[in-house]
Every structure is written in structure tokens, then in C-alpha cells.
A = this chain, B = another copy of it.
């Protein structure tokens, strides 16, 4: 890619990047047109190709950035630095929200990328995602104090369930176009409070 991209005013950089995240999160790689990205980012297609020499390079740049920013947000929110399950969940959702404020479609892009079928993309991506996901999962299972949960529930099932619920909520917000991180954050906190009430001893 062309490093001069980073000399652009920051607003313009993120505008372009977010346009790309959006289009790639809504379409499979093959059906995500560069022209649509350019239009959404309010620049010409030629300029887009000027900065990211071709489609795959843009895609891989977005992927690398997504990985990096996710890692950073997770670290900054101190997600791993607690043994309280719900506190960890809270921090991780707050991290997601803060990430969403700057890159609204980064998360849905990551999910879409994980299931990408295009051969050339697949191999470059799947491993790094898988390893990160597995790593965080084992980290959670080893540091969390599970003794505080009610004895009659299946914690592993619960964990999945809560992730799905928060994910489903986020998806609904995304789909309906009302992506308001503040409101989402607030709703997240309420949901967690409720869970805390019923699932602890």
C-alpha cells in the first residue's frame, strides 16, 4: 500500500476505512465492490486504488488493523485483569463499545471475515482469528473464579449464551441503522446487572 495514506488528515483516513469496513461487512469479499467503498468514503475510486494498490491489499490492511485495534482495546480495558466473570464481561463489552465509537463496523467486519470463503483470503485469515479466539477463551476459563456461580447451572453454556445475547443485541442495533454506542453501553450494563442478580449464589 501507499504510505502517503497516513499523511491524510485523520478524519479522512477513518472515513475511508470505515466505508471499507462497512462494505466488506455487508458483502462477501468477491461481491464487495471497490467502487461502493469509494462512494461511501466520498472519494473517487481511482484515489482508493492510489492508496491501496488493489482490493486484496485493502482487505488485508483492514484485517490487520482490526486484529490490532481489538487487541489494544481489550488490553486498555483491562479485560484480563479480574477474576469476576461479570466484571470481565462488562469490561469486554465496554471495550467493544469504545472500539465501535471509532470504527462502527469493525466488529461485524471481523465476524464476516472469519467466515470468508474466498480461497486466497481464507488461509491468510482463519488461523490468526482462531488462535486469538482460542487464546482468550482459555484465558477466561483459567482466570475466572467459577465458585461464585450457582451450583445448578452449566457455566460453559451460560458463557456462550451471554455472548450470543450481547451479540444479538448489537446486531439488531447495527441492522436497524441506529448504532448509538452510548445507548448500547447503557443497555449492556443493565443486562449484566440482571445476569449478576440471577446467576450468582
Contact = CB atoms under 8 A, between A and B. Distances in A.
Q: Decide if the interface of chain A is mainly helix, strand, loop or mixed.
A: helix
Interface in A8-31: 26-28, 31
Contacts of A163: 168
A72 interface: no
B154 A165 contact: no
B28 A153 contact: no
Total identical chains: 2
- Contact count band on A: 20 to 34
Given A31-B27, A31-B31, A175-B115, A198 B164 contact: no
A188 to B, nearest CB: 11
A191 B161 contact: yes
Interface of A: 26-28, 31, 115, 150, 152-154, 157-158, 160-169, 171-172, 175, 190-191, 194, 197-199
